[in-house]
């Protein structure tokens, strides 16, 4: 059974330009995210990756250009876990449901929270507080909170930052699992080469406020393009100026 189906975009980023003060962080950036795809956005620190995600989910306004979303159900996993320290895991995950006047009963909320905790491998942890969790567990609580409303697209900002390579692998496996089980699309911002290696997908490399290179994760490791070479070697000196001297 192979019916060729043209993928539909779920997000269209059109000619986005964003300034902070006089600094142009994004300059006429355009790309699409297709249904069910996981798109990687990479680039050195300060190249506007987090800003781009915030523009996609509406937390920032562009100076020009637009973001066309084909869904209202969008979830964001922030850089850092952004959990409420005074609340236990259950209340952290339930937070978006409790603070939006939904028609859900307490029983339905409980059912949803426990289901999402199971999906991220945290069944039975609902009474723990954030300070009782490891870094990787906190990230997964953040994932559960983000998916509580069954988003069609999930934006992940550096989901493995601060985690060791093994836990990072576990996190990537959960991202791929959620992608699959929720039938969602994802945009994943990272500069972690091990993460990129584990994911087979389209990649956008941001540099100097623009898309400097586009290809697949496999090509990133093989392409003789000077930018991809510098990125995979983590070289300070190269065509991309990392540290302004």
Ligand X SMILES: Nc1ncnc2c1ncn2[C@@H]1O[C@H](COP(=O)(O)OP(=O)(O)OP(=O)(O)O)[C@@H](O)[C@H]1O
Name the site residues for ligand X (rule: CB under 6 A). Answer: 20, 25, 43, 45-51, 79
Least distance CB 52 / ligand X (angstroms): 7
Of 19-27, 47-55, 140-148, 202-210, the segment contacting Mg ion by CB under 5 A is: 47-55
Q: Which does 45 bind (CB under 5 to 8 A by kind): ligand X, Mg ion, none?
A: ligand X
As a whole number of angstroms, the distance between CA 230 and CA 226 comes to 6
Least distance CB 175 / ligand X (angstroms): 18
Least distance CB 162 / ligand X (angstroms): 12
Assess 186 for contact with Mg ion (CB under 5 A). no
Q: Is 188:39 a contact under the CB 8 Å cutoff?
A: yes
Least distance CB 231 / ligand X (angstroms): 13
Minimum CB distance to Mg ion smaller for 24 or for 129: 24
Q: Which of residues 50, 81, 160, 209 is near Mg ion by CB under 5 A?
A: 50
Minimum CB distance to Mg ion smaller for 45 or for 99: 45
- What is the edge-to-edge ordering of all strands in the sheet holding 23-34? 23-34, 9-20, 64-69
As a whole number of angstroms, the distance between CA 235 and CA 9 comes to 34
The helix (run of H) or strand (run of E) holding residue 64 is strand 64-69
Kindly state the DSSP code that residue 7 receives in the 8-state scheme: P
- Residue 143's SS3 state is helix
Assess 47 for contact with Mg ion (CB under 5 A). no
Q: Which does 48 bind (CB under 5 to 8 A by kind): Mg ion, ligand X, none?
A: ligand X
- What is the edge-to-edge ordering of all strands in the sheet holding 210-216? 74-77, 153-157, 185-189, 38-42, 202-207, 210-216
Chain contacts with Mg ion (rule: CB under 5 A) = 50
């Amino acid at each position: 059974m192979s019916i060729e189906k043209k993928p539909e975009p779920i997000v269209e980023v059109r000619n986005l330009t964003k300034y902070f003060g006089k600094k142009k962080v994004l300059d006429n950036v355009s790309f699409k995210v297709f249904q069910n795809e996981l798109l990687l956005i990479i680039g050195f620190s300060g190249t506007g990756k987090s800003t781009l995600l915030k523009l996609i989910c509406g937390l920032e306004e562009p100076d020009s250009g637009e973001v066309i979303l084909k869904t209202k159900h969008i979830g964001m996993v922030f850089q850092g876990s952004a959990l409420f320290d005074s609340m236990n895991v259950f209340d952290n995950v339930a937070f978006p449901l409790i603070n939006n006047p939904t028609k859900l009963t307490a029983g339905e909320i409980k059912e949803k929270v426990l289901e999402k905790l199971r999906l991220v491998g945290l069944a039975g942890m609902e009474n723990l507080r954030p300070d009782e969790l490891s870094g990787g567990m906190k990230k997964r609580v953040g994932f559960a909170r983000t998916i509580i409303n069954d988003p069609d697209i999930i934006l992940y900002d550096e989901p493995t930052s601060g985690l060791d390579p093994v836990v990072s692998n576990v996190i990537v496996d959960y991202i791929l699992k959620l992608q699959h089980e929720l039938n969602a699309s994802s945009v994943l911002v990272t500069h972690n080469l091990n993460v990129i290696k584990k994911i087979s997908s389209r990649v956008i490399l941001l540099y100097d406020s623009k898309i400097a290179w586009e290809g697949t994760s496999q090509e990133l490791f093989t392409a003789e393009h000077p930018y991809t070479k510098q990125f995979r070697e983590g070289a300070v000196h190269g065509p991309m100026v990392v540290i302004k001297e």
